[in-house]
Amino acid sequence: MKKSNIVLLVLIAVAIGVIVTVAGDFSTYETFATARQKEGKEFQVIGKLDTTKTLEYDPVKDANLLRFYVVDKTGEIQPVVFYGTKPTDFEKAESVVLTGKMSNGEFKCSKILMKCPSKYKNDQVAIGKA
């Protein structure tokens, strides 16, 4: 075997090893049940804001404390605590992606990503012949 072939095989093996290692770190969306089973480990949970329960935010008392409830993709409702300022139009979000850990029966959220409703959702475009 040529030295170039051996070097190529070693590089391919190293590349496969790197890909496998990095792929293990890719996070997927989990549920609150999974986060509860592995308390203390950080997860991303996707869900919808539960508008039937009250959202607690008092910027005068503590502008960096937001408490609310989220329904995950399995239908489980969980209290969420976010230590940061309330995102603009938070109540209008179609869905939220929460990054955080389960602790003492609450999901302690460190990051919130919101999917807002599309302004083009109900727009209709008329196409006609001239």
- For residue range 19-60, list pLDDT tens digits in order: 776 665 555 788 898 888 988 889 899 999 998 998 999 889
CATH code, domain with 59: 2.40.50.140
* Distance in angstroms (rounded) separating the CA atoms of residues 29 and 34: 10
Residues 6+ apart with CB under 8 A from 119: none
Give domain status of residue 2, yes or no.
no
Domains held by the chain: number: 1
Q: 70 lies in which domain range? A: 28-115
pTM, to two decimals: 0.69
* Distance in angstroms (rounded) separating the CA atoms of residues 124 and 80: 37
- For residue range 91-117, list pLDDT tens digits in order: 888 899 999 999 888 999 999 999 877
Q: Pairing mode, if any, of strands 95-103 and 43-49? A: antiparallel
